[in-house]
Structure 1
């Protein structure tokens, strides 16, 4: 189906649900209140631990993305995955500042808060972001799972056929044996296919269970209503479907062309930096507008003083309306993590490296573990520079955001695509297939027993000169 038609279809569906959500908002809130009170009548330790687990499950996919970026061929997809997640988080915070709806525990005295979140509640960030992360994880990070078992069987079958073709002749017993082995391989293929189906079913079941339980856990913890959770799911599904069916293939193809080893196209990338900065400025401008609107227009009407009182009771803090951790101020801060994408783009353009997808694992398997540890440390070490920003504190949300959230977010993106490739080349630790592989490598470490791979690396490097 045409991408334009798909975009229109997805957009119409989400608009329809937004209208339904607005019309039935009060009814959904009352149903959510009844559900939360019922769930919180008794809070067994085990039940609480289960809900807490699904609240924290959103940290698993970023770890998987980190693994793919460091140890797998799928480096570009891992960065695209990170970017989509960042976009989802940023969009969620903007939507919260548009809806400016309180969390249940802030306005319902009978509902206990077991998490004490202090920003607005609609739509649920956990519901939205968990759906985006968990559905995109197998799609972007591990797309080969569904083919892995089948390819192994096909390779075995092909090797045995080739081995038989080397015979000069066949006796009756030879042919019988060959038929028997082929029959055995066919049975093995059926078994492997069943295993593949079982793995896929288990994976899908786990993803669906995690998404549903994450949403339910937020209701149980008193920090979201049913309407907030469902709206989060709807927005998360919209972002996911739009990216998978409309954006991903075209975007990835364009990036691969720009970073192609066969042709230097860096001059064509120069427009990306001002484009990224322009988009970031638009997001910041929109966020500041919503920040002012909530502070000057909606604050008194929405009785936010009462909400802040409940937050202080829950957190044992003394927050005021100007505190960066509160309501619209908190939402504004989180929109600035969108600077991660700007940092990724600026770093990639300035690094002027290349990316040849699919060849990293060929070289990785021949590298000693000490070599991998050095590469990992070179990625983590620059992040130490960002630690001092964590200790910046201010009662002014603009100051804290511009001096803390923004530099940390931009710096994280820039380190991944700009600083890290440079350090790998500087310390002679590059591997073909890295994102990004920089020109004019010096030499591969002359580790004993790796002379053959050293020769291959030199030959590979010469192709870039």
Structure 2
């Protein structure tokens, strides 16, 4: 189906649900209140730990993405996955800034607060991001598992298949061997098919169960209503479907063209830096505008005082309405996470390396544990520079955003795609197949094509052959 038609269909369904959500907001709140109170009548320790686990399960997929980027061939998809997650987080914070709806425990005395989130509650960020993270994890991070499994079975079959090689050098299969081979191949194929179906069913059930339990856990913990959870799921599904069916293929192809070793692409890459900063400024401007609009038009002194009192009671703090951690202030800060994408783009443009997907796994198996440890330390060490920013604190939400959130996020992105590739090259720890393989692209003449770069990679491969 045409991507434009799909976009229209997905967007129409999203708008339809938003209208339904607005129309039945009060009814959903009442149902949610009764549901949460009934769930919290008795809170066994095991049950609380169970729901807290699924409330925090969203930290697992980013760890998987980090693993793929550091230790697997699938580096570009790992970065794209991270980009989609950041987009979802930023979108959620902007939506919270628009809806400015309190969390249940802030305004319902009967509902206990087992978690102490202090920003707005609609839509649920955990529900939205759980859909994005958990559905895209097998789609983007591990899409080659089935192919690798199939390849391994076929290789095992070929290795075990009996062959007769006469002195002529030709391979001759006897009728007996051929029949046995076909039979064995059929058995392997059937086993593989059953294994694939079983794994798919288990994976789908786990993803669905985790998404549902994440939403329910937020209601149980008193930090979201059913309406907030449902809207989070709808937004998460919208972002996921739009990315998979409309954006991913084109975006991936565009990035692969940019890191393709052709000099004609270098000027196009350099346009990314001003574009990235422009988009970041637009995002922060939108967030700042919503921050001011909420404080001027949606601020109710009595309501806000009650909400902040419940937050302070839960957290044992002394926040005021100006504190950066409170309500729309917190939402504004979290939109600064978008600076991470800007850092990734700027680092990639400055390095101007290449990406040959499929080479990395071939070489990493041949390297020692010490070699891998050195590479890992080169990735972590630059982050030490960002540690002082963690201790910056200010009662001004704007100052905290400028002096803390933006440097941390931009710095993290720049280290991953800028400092890390450079340090690998500097300390002779590059592996062919690294994302942004650092080579002499800037020295290519106009007449030279990508063959020049491929020759550099081949020479680098030869060095590894001698080294190993």
Q: TM tier, shorter chain?
A: over 0.9
Q: Paired residue for 1:11?
A: 11
Q: Paired residue for 1:34?
A: 34
Q: Give me the whole-angstrom Cα distance separating, in 1, the residues matched to 2:302 and 2:429.
A: 57
Aligned pairs for 1:4-403 (under 5 A) are 4-159=4-159, 163-164=163-164, 174-261=174-261, 265-300=265-300, 303-403=303-403
Measured after TM superposition, the shift of residue 221 of structure 1 is 0.1
Contact 2:359 2:433 in 1 (8 A): yes
Moved more, 75-84 or 145-154: 145-154
Measured after TM superposition, the shift of residue 180 of structure 1 is 1.8
Q: 1:86 to 1:211 in 2, by over 3 A?
A: same
Q: Give me the whole-angstrom Cα distance separating, in 2, the residues matched to 1:416 and 1:166.
A: 55
3-state SS of the aligned residue for 1:268? Answer: helix
Q: 1:165 to 1:156 in 2, by over 3 A?
A: farther
Contact 1:149 1:193 in 2 (8 A): no
Moved more, 7-16 or 144-153: 144-153
Q: Give me the whole-angstrom Cα distance separating, in 2, the residues matched to 1:21 and 1:166.
A: 76
Measured after TM superposition, the shift of residue 178 of structure 1 is 3.1
Measured after TM superposition, the shift of residue 81 of structure 1 is 0.5
Q: 1:24 to 1:165 in 2, by over 3 A?
A: farther
Measured after TM superposition, the shift of residue 166 of structure 1 is 6.5
Q: Give me the whole-angstrom Cα distance separating, in 2, the residues matched to 1:159 and 1:235.
A: 49
Measured after TM superposition, the shift of residue 197 of structure 1 is 1.1
Aligned pairs for 1:429-444 (under 5 A) are 429-440=429-440
TM-score (normalised: structure 2): 0.92
Contact 1:256 1:355 in 2 (8 A): yes
Q: Give me the whole-angstrom Cα distance separating, in 2, the residues matched to 1:364 and 1:24.
A: 55
Measured after TM superposition, the shift of residue 94 of structure 1 is 0.2
Aligned pairs for 1:420-435 (under 5 A) are 420-435=420-435
Measured after TM superposition, the shift of residue 295 of structure 1 is 1.0
> Which structure 1 residue ranges, 5 or more long, are not aligned?
442-454
Q: Give me the whole-angstrom Cα distance separating, in 1, the residues matched to 2:99 and 2:185.
A: 59
Measured after TM superposition, the shift of residue 148 of structure 1 is 2.7
CA RMSD of aligned residues (A): 2.2
Contact 2:352 2:438 in 1 (8 A): yes
3-state SS of the aligned residue for 1:320? Answer: coil
May I ask how many residue pairs the two structures share in their alignment?
449
Contact 1:58 1:126 in 2 (8 A): yes
Measured after TM superposition, the shift of residue 149 of structure 1 is 2.3
3-state SS of the aligned residue for 1:437? Answer: coil
Q: 1:45 to 1:196 in 2, by over 3 A?
A: same
Contact 1:146 1:200 in 2 (8 A): no
Measured after TM superposition, the shift of residue 156 of structure 1 is 3.2
Measured after TM superposition, the shift of residue 155 of structure 1 is 2.6
Measured after TM superposition, the shift of residue 461 of structure 1 is 6.3
The one-character-per-residue Cα deviations of 1:222-261 (angstroms, maximum 9, x if unpaired) are: 0000000010000000000000000000000011011013
Q: Give me the whole-angstrom Cα distance separating, in 1, the residues matched to 2:435 and 2:118.
A: 38
The one-character-per-residue Cα deviations of 1:155-202 (angstroms, maximum 9, x if unpaired) are: 3344566945778799x9942243123202211220121111111111
Q: Give me the whole-angstrom Cα distance separating, in 1, the residues matched to 2:223 and 2:370.
A: 45
Q: Give me the whole-angstrom Cα distance separating, in 2, the residues matched to 1:383 and 1:264.
A: 34
Q: Give me the whole-angstrom Cα distance separating, in 2, the residues matched to 1:417 and 1:169.
A: 50
Q: 1:257 to 1:107 in 2, by over 3 A?
A: same
Q: 1:225 to 1:354 in 2, by over 3 A?
A: same
Contact 2:161 2:181 in 1 (8 A): no
Contact 1:32 1:225 in 2 (8 A): yes
Q: Give me the whole-angstrom Cα distance separating, in 1, the residues matched to 2:173 and 2:145.
A: 39
- Which 4+ residue blocks in structure 1 deviate beyond 4 angstroms? 158-162, 164-170, 455-458
The one-character-per-residue Cα deviations of 1:389-417 (angstroms, maximum 9, x if unpaired) are: 01001000000111000100000000000
Q: Give me the whole-angstrom Cα distance separating, in 1, the residues matched to 2:173 and 2:380.
A: 61
Q: Paired residue for 2:445?
A: none
Moved more, 347-356 or 65-74: 347-356
Q: Give me the whole-angstrom Cα distance separating, in 2, the residues matched to 1:114 and 1:60.
A: 22
